[in-house]
């Protein structure tokens, strides 16, 4: 279905229209929120674990977009964003906990730092009202997400004393997402606009990572080339 939406987007922007229109570029800063983000979890087959977690699902993103608006109120846009500053931390106390065949005792802190890249393509509909321009869009995105994990603490592993402060294997996932968005621009001149907008990328993650939606409040400056 996602491939079908991507094909529909390409077909949409290929509709014959007047050659006149607006080409634009747009640097963007985003305040991002990853709804429902949580720690990537393991399993304990015996013993017990006391776990206290803290999740920071608010991050930010830097990106840019570019597009073309035809005179008939439609157009297309492509863009890129790099997301960062999402994190999750767990303070864990293990009491004869068996994990993957190993018995663990002690107190450990496990942290995860999450960042990623998104590329998107979307048809755009717009309407002008005096110095304001209102846009909506819906399309598809490609994401690459990395979860860098670290563990620190001390205790015993299978009866032997251990003290750790090390990085674990980074978990990486990639895939395809849907996006929707809307924005309002104020045109200072025919070439310069400021914009405030909203975008949601759905189903980011999956696989070994918690799947989540990422909501963005975007602040941007647009430069038009007529």
- Return the pLDDT at 6: 41
Encode pLDDT of 183-193 as tens digits: 999 999 999 99
Encode pLDDT of 97-110 as tens digits: 777 677 888 888 88
Of 63, 59, 67, 60, nearest to 87 (Cα)? 59
- Return the pLDDT at 75: 96
Task: Report the alpha-carbon distance of residue 53 to residue 69 in Å, rounded.
Answer: 46
Q: What does pTM read for this prediction?
A: 0.74
Q: Is the pLDDT of residue 121 over 50?
A: yes
Q: Which of the pair, 137 or 90, is modelled with greater confidence?
A: 137
- Return the pLDDT at 201: 94
Encode pLDDT of 14-69 as tens digits: 434 344 568 999 999 999 988 755 555 454 445 566 767 777 788 899 999 999 99
Task: Report the alpha-carbon distance of residue 145 to residue 171 in Å, rounded.
Answer: 8
- Ordered structural domains, the chain, with CATH: 2-15+22-225 (2.40.160.20)
Mean pLDDT of the chain: 83
On whether the CB atoms of residues 218 and 198 are closer than 8 A, the answer is: yes
DSSP assignment of the chain equals: -HHHHHHHHHHHHTS---S-EEEEEEEEEEEEEEET--PPP---SEEEEEEEEEEE-EEEEEEEEEEEEETTSEEEEEEEEEEEEEEEEEEEEEEEEEETTEEEEEEEEEEEEEEEEEEEEEEEEEEEETTEEEEEEEEEEEEEEEEEEEEEEEEEETTEEEEEEEE-PPEEEEEEEEEEEEEEEEESSSSEEEEEEEEEEEEEEETTEEEEEEEEEEEEEEEEE-
% residues pLDDT > 90 (the chain): 45
Strands (DSSP E) found in 71-131: 74-99, 102-129
Task: Report the alpha-carbon distance of residue 128 to residue 111 in Å, rounded.
Answer: 47
């Amino acid at each position: 279905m996602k491939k079908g939406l991507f094909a529909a987007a390409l077909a949409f922007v290929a509709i014959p229209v007047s050659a006149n229109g607006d080409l634009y570029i747009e640097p963007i800063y985003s305040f991002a929120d990853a709804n429902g983000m949580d720690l990537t979890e393991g399993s304990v087959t015996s013993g017990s674990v006391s776990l206290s977690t803290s999740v920071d699902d608010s991050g930010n993103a830097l990106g840019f977009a570019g597009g073309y608006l035809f005179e008939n109120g439609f157009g297309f846009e492509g863009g890129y964003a790099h997301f960062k500053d999402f994190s999750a931390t767990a303070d864990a106390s293990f009491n004869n906990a068996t994990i993957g065949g190993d018995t663990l005792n002690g107190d450990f802190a496990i942290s995860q730092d999450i960042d990623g890249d998104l590329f998107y393509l979307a048809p755009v509909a717009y309407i002008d009202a005096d110095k304001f321009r209102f846009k909506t869009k819906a399309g598809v995105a490609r994401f690459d997400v990395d979860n860098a994990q670290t563990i620190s603490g001390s205790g015993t592993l299978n009866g032997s004393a251990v003290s750790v402060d090390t990085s674990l294997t980074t978990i990486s996932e990639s895939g395809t997402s849907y996006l929707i968005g809307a924005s309002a621009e104020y045109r200072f001149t025919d070439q310069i606009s400021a914009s405030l907008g909203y975008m949601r990328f759905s189903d980011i993650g999956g696989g070994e990572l918690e799947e989540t939606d990422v909501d963005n409040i975007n602040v941007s400056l647009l430069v038009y080339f007529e």
